[in-house]
Amino acid sequence: MSAPAGRPAGRLERTVTWVMRNVDVVVAAAIALTIGLLDIFGDVLTGDVVSGATLLVLGALAIGSIVERVRQPASIQEALAGTRRALEDQAMVSSLIGSQVGDALRDARLHTHLWYFKGGTGTYLRAVTLPQCVAAAKVQRSQLTIKIDIVNPDDEQACTAYARFRQMFAGQRDAANAALWTKDRVRKEAYATVLAACCYRQQLATLEIAVHLSSVVSTLRFDLSETCLVITQDDTSRTNLLIRRGQPLYDYYVTELHQSREQARELDLRLAPSLAPEPTVDEVRELFEQVRLPLPRAFTDSDIGEVIVKALHAEDPYRR
């Protein structure tokens, strides 16, 4: 079988490349070989010529040695840079503890025009993310897209499961608060997030906000902006995660969060009526009726008042 036509050309190209890279050695070897042959097979060269040629060969070798010494640091630096880039690429996830979580979320809010949230009931979202992102968009007169995925308050089984999870896995700092997590509280917190979304939607004309209600309980919180993804837990003393945009995991979670919303129930917030800056109990009842998420009949005016406070005056869970 005949060799491929491109093989000799490839071999020649590699040979030429090698000669160009080692031209100093090739020149020295050629001179030395020429002088040696002439000296052996004839009396053509005088002693002075041979000595001069010898010095020329030694000079060529010396130059080659110097060039190689110059090349080595550059090669070493290039290798180190490549290793550093590889290590940075491998470090796709950074750990966050304590106050680092709040700092990371604050940095994530800077210069972002989108925010995707997936979690239990969205307390931090109501307390910090929504008001600060909306305030920044007002100042910048920019478009803002927010997508929210929380537990469905109309699904009693899901609310009970989430309450049980918060009770069972609360950290030492949240032990006293854990007992307060009941099915009723989960429902109120989730209703409050829906109400907050409606209130902020009418405050900013350029705000595109969506609320998705899931019957699958999330044990983690996902906050994704244009620069990073922050994954947190209900226990603030535990290690949390930061993933920068540009890393494969960031793109994976963008898809994962999208698929989660696709499987959840989306509310049509366009049906929500206008609300006062501090909505009344009757306004809130009407709002939930209009968006087809009626409040439980067992909810009293006091319960709805609690939902209003949670919606517009939620406390930052990271401020302890």
* Segment 67-108, tens digit of pLDDT: 555 455 555 566 555 545 544 455 679 999 888 999 999 999
- State the Cα torsion 6-12-16-22 to the nearest 10°: 120
Q: Give the pLDDT confidence score for residue 80 in this predicted structure.
A: 54
Percent above pLDDT 90 for the chain: 60
What fold characterizes domain 94-312?
Endonuclease; Chain A (3.30.870)
> In the chain, which ranges are continuous DSSP H helix?
6-21, 23-41, 47-90, 100-109, 123-124, 130-140, 156-168, 175-178, 183-201, 248-262, 281-290, 301-312
Structure tokens at 176: 């006293």
How far is the C-alpha of 112 from the C-alpha of 224, rounded, in Å? 10
Q: Give the pLDDT confidence score for residue 234 in this predicted structure.
A: 81
Q: Give the pLDDT confidence score for residue 3 in this predicted structure.
A: 46
Residue 168's pLDDT band (cuts 50, 70, 90): confident
Q: Which residues contact 314 (CB under 8 A, 6 or more apart)?
A: 123, 126, 127, 192, 196
What would the pLDDT profile of 216-251 be if each residue is shown by its tens digit?
989 999 999 999 999 998 876 789 999 999 999 999
What does the mean pLDDT of the chain come to?
A: 82
Residue 61's pLDDT band (cuts 50, 70, 90): low
Q: Give the pLDDT confidence score for residue 180 in this predicted structure.
A: 85
Domain boundaries, the chain: 6-90, 94-312
**Matching residue, tokens 């969060």:** 257
For the full predicted model, state whether its pTM sits above 0.75.
no
Q: Which of 17-31, 124-138, 157-171, 251-265 is predicted with the least confidence, judged by mean pLDDT?
A: 17-31
Q: Which residues contact 223 (CB under 8 A, 6 or more apart)?
A: 105, 108, 115, 116, 117, 124, 125, 129, 229, 230, 231, 232
Task: Confirm if 244 and 227 have CB atoms less than 8 A apart.
Answer: yes
Q: How far is CA 84 from the centre of its chain?
A: 20
Q: Determine how many CB atoms are found less than 10 A away from the CB of residue 5.
A: 7
Q: Which residues contact 177 (CB under 8 A, 6 or more apart)?
A: 170
